[in-house]
């Protein structure tokens, strides 16, 4: 049986703007098995980043549920008023590989130390970290600091960090958005190759139709909003 790694049911999210409540996402349901990938598409402002933020607990939904690897989250408030913040933080540290638009590297640490830190926080083997940089073709830059390498090399380091933690699910927001076509294709190749090697889930928000076409599923938020 292909059990869902991620299942999302009837998720809704709105933001307050002055006195107005602006709906951004409504009735979002999806399921993703381990080893599957899904592209989130839609025009600017359609809610792609918001959905990724909901899927890693950085925002809480107004309603609906999210289940990741058997951990079930809802709008966050329990009967005694506590949120699921702690459980989300544990899940992010151990199982969710998050790659957002700006590669989130610690500026005062070398690329290798960034990768090591990520592995350590996830309780994973730190000795393999140099190998991850090698696999992403930036092994020779291991001792450089993030501001001493290019944007594409920082994106590769961010991917090395994600894979060093052996995530169950990768959430990537425009992971190749700031790169030229050739570098974008190389980074995307690595992302899909490693995702397939690991058999983890992948959700990526993108405006790039070629990148989206490589995913097993596509969810077009703009299309949903206008249909």
Q: Is 61 in the site for ligand ATP (CB under 6 A)?
A: no
> Out of 1, 20, 44, 182, which residue is the one contacting ligand ATP (CB under 6 A)?
44
The closest of 152, 173, 1, 25 to 96, measured between CA atoms, is 173
Place of tokens 């076509």: 181
Q: Is 156 in the site for ligand ATP (CB under 6 A)?
A: no
Count other Cβ atoms within 10 Å, centred on residue 23. 12
Q: Is 199 in the site for ligand ATP (CB under 6 A)?
A: no
- Rounded to whole angstroms, the Cα distance separating 25 from 205 reads 15
Q: Is 50 in the site for ligand ATP (CB under 6 A)?
A: yes
Q: Is 176 in the site for ligand ATP (CB under 6 A)?
A: no
Q: Is 46 in the site for ligand ATP (CB under 6 A)?
A: yes
Q: Is 23 in the site for ligand ATP (CB under 6 A)?
A: no
> Out of 3, 10, 21, 45, which residue is the one contacting ligand ATP (CB under 6 A)?
45
Stretch that binds ligand ATP, among 41-49, 112-120, 151-159, 164-172 (CB under 6 A): 41-49
Q: Is 184 helix (H, G, I), strand (E, B) or coil?
A: helix
In the bound complex, what is the minimum distance in angstroms from residue 224's beta carbon to ligand ATP? 12
DSSP 113-154: HHHHHHHHHTT--GGGHHHHHHHTT-GGGTTS-GGGS-HHHH
């Amino acid at each position: 049986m292909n059990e869902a790694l991620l299942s999302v049911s009837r998720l809704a999210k709105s933001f307050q703007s002055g006195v107005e409540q602006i709906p951004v996402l409504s009735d979002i349901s999806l399921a993703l098995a381990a080893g599957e990938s899904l592209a989130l598409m839609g025009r600017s402002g359609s809610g792609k980043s918001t959905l990724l933020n909901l899927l890693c607990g950085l925002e809480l939904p107004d309603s609906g549920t999210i289940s990741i690897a058997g951990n079930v989250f809802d709008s966050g408030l329990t009967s005694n008023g506590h949120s699921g913040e702690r459980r989300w933080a544990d899940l992010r540290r151990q199982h969710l590989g998050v790659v957002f638009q700006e590669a989130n590297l610690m500026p005062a640490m070398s690329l290798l130390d960034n990768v090591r830190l990520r592995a350590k926080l996830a309780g994973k083997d730190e000795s393999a970290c140099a190998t991850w940089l090698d696999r992403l073709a930036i092994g020779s830059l291991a001792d450089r600091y993030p501001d001493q390498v290019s944007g594409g090399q920082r994106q590769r380091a961010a991917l090395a960090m994600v894979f060093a933690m052996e995530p169950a699910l990768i959430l990537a927001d425009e992971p190749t958005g700031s790169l030229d076509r050739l570098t974008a294709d190389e980074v995307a190749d690595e992302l899909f190759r490693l995702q397939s090697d690991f058999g983890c889930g992948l959700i990526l928000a993108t405006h790039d139709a070629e990148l989206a076409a490589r995913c097993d599923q596509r969810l077009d938020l703009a299309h949903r909003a206008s249909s």
